[in-house]
Amino acid sequence: MKPITTSLFCHLLLVQLSLSILSTYASQTCIWSGLGDGVSWHDAANWSPAPPATGDSVTIDAGTLLLSASTPQLNAFTMSGGTLTFTNWTTTLQASIITLSGNALFTLPAPFSDTDMSNRVSIVCDSLHIDSTSKIDVSGQGFLALSGPAITA
Instruction: Average the pLDDT over each of 40-54, 67-81, 90-104, 127-141 and give the range with the smallest value.
Output: 127-141
Q: Is the pLDDT of residue 18 over 60?
A: no
Going 52 to 122 to 124 to 132, the CA torsion angle's sign is: positive
- Going by their DSSP bridges, the two strands 57-60 and 135-136 should be labelled as unpaired
pTM: 0.76
- Would you kindly state where each structural domain of the chain is located, as residue ranges? 27-136
For β-strands 29-32 and 47-48, DSSP reports them as antiparallel
Find, among 20, 94, 22, the residue nearest to 57 by Cα: 94
Write out pLDDT tens, residues 100-120: 999 999 999 887 666 666 788
